[in-house]
A and B are shown apart, each in its own frame.
Chain A
Amino acid sequence: MTADDRSREASLSGPGDRPRGAWRRLVSPAALFAEAGALLVAGFLLAFWYAPTDTSTMGFSQKIFYFHAPIAESALVAYAVAFVAGVLYLRRQDERYDRLGAAAVRLGLLFSVMVMGSGMIWGKAAWGVWWAWEPRLTTFLIACVLYAAYFVLRWSTDEESRRATYSAVFAIIAFVDVPITFFATRFLPAGLHPAVITGSGSGMAAPMLFTFLVCMAGMTLLLVALLRLELAHAALKAEVEELKELLDREPEPEMAAAAVASSHETERGIP
């Protein structure tokens, strides 16, 4: 890539660009982690010292809901981000969208595994069984397998632009499939399992709702923070590969100078 291409690329806006001005302090990765952490700690304390204990058969184990449901919501947000990144990649062919998509799916998968773990523990506490074929658990199980397939697809596609295109298409159809799967498990006569998680049901008492919202905000912010960290990592990696490659062959001075300049640029994007 010539120096001209580089400066042109840097001036196009895209994901992972540093935000300008006062915003930057609020949304820098470090700040996001601090904000998310603060919200989550607050939420945790609220869950146990402010929200009333559930009066249904679930009792104390209902408290798991305050982290379990926000993580589920964040996983879905991550998948939605991957969907949008996929659409944008197909239309603009900018590899940064591919990086965003992969990072989002990776985090979505991590969060989904946590949903399953906490969901199973909650299931054992509330119904006495480690597994039940109920809609939410089943949908997240299928989502886990589905988005794991996303990575199998990536690993088995060798050529870079093809990998990005296929990943984008897959992220699009996978995201469409998740709600459909949920409907299938919910409305079709499946198991006769008596207990259904009604955690996010109607008529949550105000203190419960408030706690829930605090935790939801915290978890979502945490997702955003982790996403930014992932993107920074990916950008750094790409830069490192490029510099390594340049050093291997004998570069012309302008190329080397441009590489040095852009690596400064990349590094400043990290806190």
Chain B
Amino acid sequence: MAEVNPAEVSAILKKQLSGFEAEASLDEVGTVLTVGDGIANVYGLANVQYGELVQFEGGLEGIVLNLEEDNVGVVLLGPYRQVREGSVVKRTQRIASIKVGEGIVGRVVDTLGNPIDGKGAIEGETYEMPLERKAPGVIYREPVTEPLQTGIKSIDAMVPVGRGQRELVIGDRQTGKTTVCIDTILNQKEFYDAGEPVYCIYVAIGQKASTVAGIAKVLEDKGALAYTTIVAANASDPAPMQVYAPFAGAAIGEFFRDTGRPALIVFDDLSKQAVAYREVSLLLRRPPGREAYPGDVFFLHSRLLERAAKIIDNDDIAKEMNDLPDVLKDKVKGGGSLTALPLIETQAGDVSAYIPTNVISITDGQIFLTSDLFNSGVRPAINVGISVSRVGGNAQIKSMKKVAGTLKLDQAQFRELEAFAKFGSDLDPATLSVIEKGKRNVEILKQGQNDPYPVENQIAIIFAGSKNLLRDVPVDKIREFEKDYLEYLDAKHRDTLDTLKSGKLTDEVTDTLTSVAKELSAKYKNKE
């Protein structure tokens, strides 16, 4: 065991005791009638509000979810072994909320905002943000125009995501949904280093604690924890904790959004949250509907995802925003955004199940990941044919838009002709060229795990692909070529890449890219 420094111990004890009050308390109370399955029925608490936190003996908290004539239904947010029939329940006069401040960045917290990473209390000033909050109204919003770079070539090129957008990531188990989102978080390091961080929130719902610990480790190792908060409601936590975890994440995101900064939130995943919500609802004896989900499961997701928004870039209007918590009122700034990447797990590719169709209809587009592609080695396994981004097009930077404009169409054509190629019949040169180009583009869009690409590199390589400059490079050498090509550009033509990054695609730039691609591809041709 490590040596314990007595001075340190006293400091910690002092810190813990600093908030301790030994005064008498006057509370409104009720009595537990029944308790079980994570639900307590409480007699009394006549003035309690819907959604209010109540406290049981022993400090356990619960949220009031059913107000009935002579009793209230409370969902319990923790182990309820100490709660017995007849125990006293106190009102806290506090609507379920989470304490958020600058200090929450880099931490792992639970649904109620308590740190669970063992790094001590959240430091600095904190603000009480309600878990359930109305989404900003129309007047306080702006169209999505700014890109949120995911660092994944196929997404940034073909299904671009803008700041303030809600883009669904959907697919079977083991298709790389989490990886796509973690890579997106890693890619925000560029902006963090540039001093304009996109604050990331990763909400883990119903996952193994070891998985969450693994993700925290990856983020820490890659330097991404410096701008990321993890909200974890693990599989071992009670269902209500899992139901409210995304709301806690959204409350954290709103803190950054309403103080004029961009934020990104990943809900991993909402299918598990829906299952947890079904559990809670059934235990509260609410009538089941389709697939036994309660009637308001659509509202559960729509009110959550509606909180993702791009706030108008005008401080005066933003200050008037609806439903602002009082503590935040004098800190409000315009121009912030909250981008949401909800994840949904499908069963055997069935997107017509209840929850997937709901969330598809709520979001501004979806990224489909399929196991066929994943198993055939196309990773990230994004099926671009059925992936769309309904608003992201306006958010793409100009140079990317020009270069990648035809890529989606090219790939669609390629997939149509690919079937013919499998017959091995003689093909005319035009068809053959489409197929060869398509194969190379597929290769270009492959990408390693935890290896996001800066946007200028993406544009450069996609330019080479879509202009068919790689026809001389064998398909299995594309990855190698890509590496050489980007390294060469970075070393010799940094200014060209910088121009691309600023969104311009001048003739000079295209000439440079073309000549470099030709020069390097000639090298690969000779090798054969």
Query: Do A and B interact with each other, yes or no?
Result: no
Binding site for B on A (CB under 8 A): none
Binding site for A on B (CB under 8 A): none
